[in-house]
Structure 1
Amino acid sequence: MGEALSSKLPVRQNSPSPKSGWDSTEHAFHVPLDILEEIFLNLPAHLVVCVCRLVCHHWKDVADNESLWRQRCRREGYNLHESSKVPSDWRFFYFMCKKRRNLIKNPRGEDELQGWTIVRNGGDGWRVEKPMALHPNTEVQTNFVTSFRTCTKSQLIDLVKEGYSQAFMDEIQPHIKVSDWYAPRCNCKYNMSVKLLHSNNRVIQEFTPETIHLLEQENHRWKQMIHVFKDYGPGVRYVYFEHGGRDSVFWAGWYGIRLTETSIELCPALDKQNYESNSG
């Protein structure tokens, strides 16, 4: 019976030997370059880097090819500010655009004064409170407020520690967008200063507008200060930001300028939003 059963089983013909070409992983995953690149362009970028490029040498070559990342930038709208400033590493450029973020820590005061260095703490000093007027961004539920003598605070941003290499900063010189929101409680003053610093702390560019005087009659309305640093040349390694103010009536307590939603962003690609320096 065993012989009869075995005679009915299908016989596998021309089975490849263990030494045939099919034992090559790279051969099994070989896909034409243009097709593979199109597949990678439709996958999340982190999967291309962390998974796909580890499959075989062929896939790694495609995942590392600058044409892939240049095309990815084009499709996702990450266009250069200037055609003369072409990145030598398109993949790095892509991820710097993708991961654009606010470099200011604790911009709204949700963690009290953590992340900030108090430069001057006049009068009754700095305080965090709830906004007196609705902010354009409804997620803003706290703000800093100054007292009857000058209060200022600062942050120093180390761009290399934030992931922006020296070569990238010197080669691309991404626009550096600064934004700060301020509003009066009574008659008060507002000051802001931003400096781009070399590694030796030499000032490369600076934005320090004149003191802004605000009146209580402005109904606590929020205003925005915006400035964009451009064409600042090589060497920028730090961004120093400082702001503050005081009330103009010298009342005890916290009746000075209110500040929140401070931000500093590096913008390697052309921003779709039109931004210019303004004070309101």
Structure 2
Amino acid sequence: MSAAEWKRRCEEQWSLQGAPMPDSLDWKSVYEAKPLGRNLLRNPAPHGLSKDTPPPEPELPEEPTRGPPQFQPDGDFSGWTTSTEVLPYDTSGIPEGAVICELPQHSWFTMEQVVDLKAEGLWEELLDDFQPEIVIQDWYEESQLHKSIYQLHVKLLGADKSTVISEHTVSPTEDLSTYSHTWKEVSHVFSGYGPGVRYVHFLHRLKNQFMMQFFSTVFTDSSVIVRPTKTSSS
């Protein structure tokens, strides 16, 4: 097909009527990259789980296992940059003089990715002038290991990867009074964020616990999706 035909196909595919679509772009490459409407995160479910099925119940052995402490969950985390922060023991609420046999030790497991929007097929005029919605979604297990088990921090970055144009942070507190053990959704829509966005920095942290054996908080179906729509305020 001709360049004009590829451009028209892109316009029809994503309903981009009214969005800037310069003739200088290689519209065939844009069409094949499918930058709009797909998940731009790599490896969104490292634990091999899906939000459409309940999270697995923790396996409790008949006898406690003994061995070196574990602070990082198992999984294939390719595509993610990971780090672990082991937290000090929480001794609050323990009466003075009480005999302590063992305390749970918690750790934060951090996973992050940086999405290069232009490398994924988006173009500067679309990001700067049209400013399509950038939709963030994540699902984490209500493990009830602690009152704080999940944190999310997403930033829209400029071309230098250090200028923060917009950001969104979530740090919920869990209700430990009722056991539910379900998936909990976290989502946010960036719109009207202004010109200059070139990268999305996606970071979330999940809390784990070690007490004779390892218990983790898992996540699944993380996503960063650019939708070919904008709000009236954009």
Task: Say which structure, 1 or 2, has more relative contact order (CA 8 Å, 6+ apart).
Answer: 2
TM-score range, shorter chain: 0.5 to 0.7
Whole-Å separation in 1 of the counterparts to 2:125 and 2:16: 19
TM-score (norm 1): 0.54
What whole-Å deviation, never above 9, does each CA across 1:4-45 have from its counterpart, x for those lacking one? Answer: xxxxxxxxxxxxxxxxxxxxxxxxxxxxxxxxxxxxxxxxxx
Residues 85-94 or 162-171, more deviating: 85-94
Partner residue of 1:217 out of 178, 181, 201 = 178
Q: Which residue of 2 aligns with 1:103?
A: 40
Shifted more, 155-164 versus 251-260: the winner is: 251-260
Say which structure is richer in helix.
Answer: 1
- Conserved? CA contact 2:152–2:204, under 8 Å: yes
Q: Is the 8 A contact 1:119 1:154 kept in 2?
A: no
Of 15, 33, 44, 1:78 maps to 15
Instruction: Name 1:122's counterpart in structure 2.
Output: 86
Give the SS at the match of 1:208.
strand
Q: 1:87 to 1:222 in 2, by over 3 A?
A: same
Aligned AA (1:197):
L
> SS where residue 265 of structure 1 aligns?
strand
AA in 2 matched with 1:169: L
Among candidates 209, 221, 227, match of residue 261 of structure 1? 221
For residues 117-142 of structure 1, what are the alpha-carbon distances to aligned partners after superposition, in whole Å with 9 as ceiling and x for unaligned?
Answer: 0133537xxxxxxxxxxxxxxxxxxx
1:167 and 2:100 equivalent?
Answer: no
Measured in 2, the distance between the counterparts of 1:151 and 1:191 equals: 10
Offset of 1:97 from its aligned partner? 6.7
Instruction: For 2:229 and 2:168, locate their aligned partners in 1 and report how far apart those are by CA, in whole Å.
Output: 22
The CA deviation string for residues 92-121 of structure 1, in whole angstroms up to 9 with x for no partner, is 599477853111111111470111101335
Q: CA RMSD in A?
A: 3.3
Query: Structure 1 unaligned runs (5+)?
Result: 1-48, 54-59, 124-146, 272-280
Secondary structure of the equivalent of 2:211? Answer: coil
Question: 1:266 is paired with a residue of what secondary structure?
Answer: strand
Question: Following the alignment from structure 2 to structure 1, what is the Cα–Cα distance between the partners of residues 36 and 197?
Answer: 20
Name the structure 2 match of 1:190: 150
Structure 1 CA distance, aligned partners of 2:180 and 2:155? 31
Would the aligned equivalents of 1:148 and 1:253 in 2 still touch at CA under 8 Å? no
Q: Structure 1 pair 197/253, CA: closer, same or farther in 2 (3 Å)?
A: farther
Between the aligned partners of 2:41 and 2:212, the Cα distance in structure 1 is 30
Runs of 5+ consecutive residues of structure 2 not aligned to the other structure: 49-74, 88-104
Counterpart residue number, 1:88: 21
Mean Cα displacement is larger for which, 148-157 or 165-174? Answer: 165-174
8 Å contact from structure 2 (residues 191, 230) kept in 1: no
SS in 2 for 1:239: strand
Contact kept in structure 2, 1:197 and 1:205, CA below 8 Å? yes
Q: Which amino acid aligns with 1:118?
A: T
Between the two proteins, the alignment pairs up a number of residues equal to: 180
Shift of 1:254: 3.6
Whole-angstrom CA distance in 2 between matches of 1:79 and 1:168: 10
Q: Is the 8 A contact 1:181 1:223 kept in 2?
A: yes
SS at match of 2:110: strand
Give the one of 196, 201, 208 matched to 1:240: 201
Q: 1:241 to 1:167 in 2, by over 3 A?
A: same
Is the partner of 1:149 in helix, strand or coil? strand
Alignment partner, residue 101 of structure 2? none
Identify the residue that residue 231 of structure 1 maps to in structure 2.
Answer: 192
Quick one: percent identity of the two aligned structures? 29
1:174 and 1:267 in contact (8 A); partners too: yes
- Superposition deviation, residue 216 in structure 1: 7.7
Letter in 1 for 2:140: Y
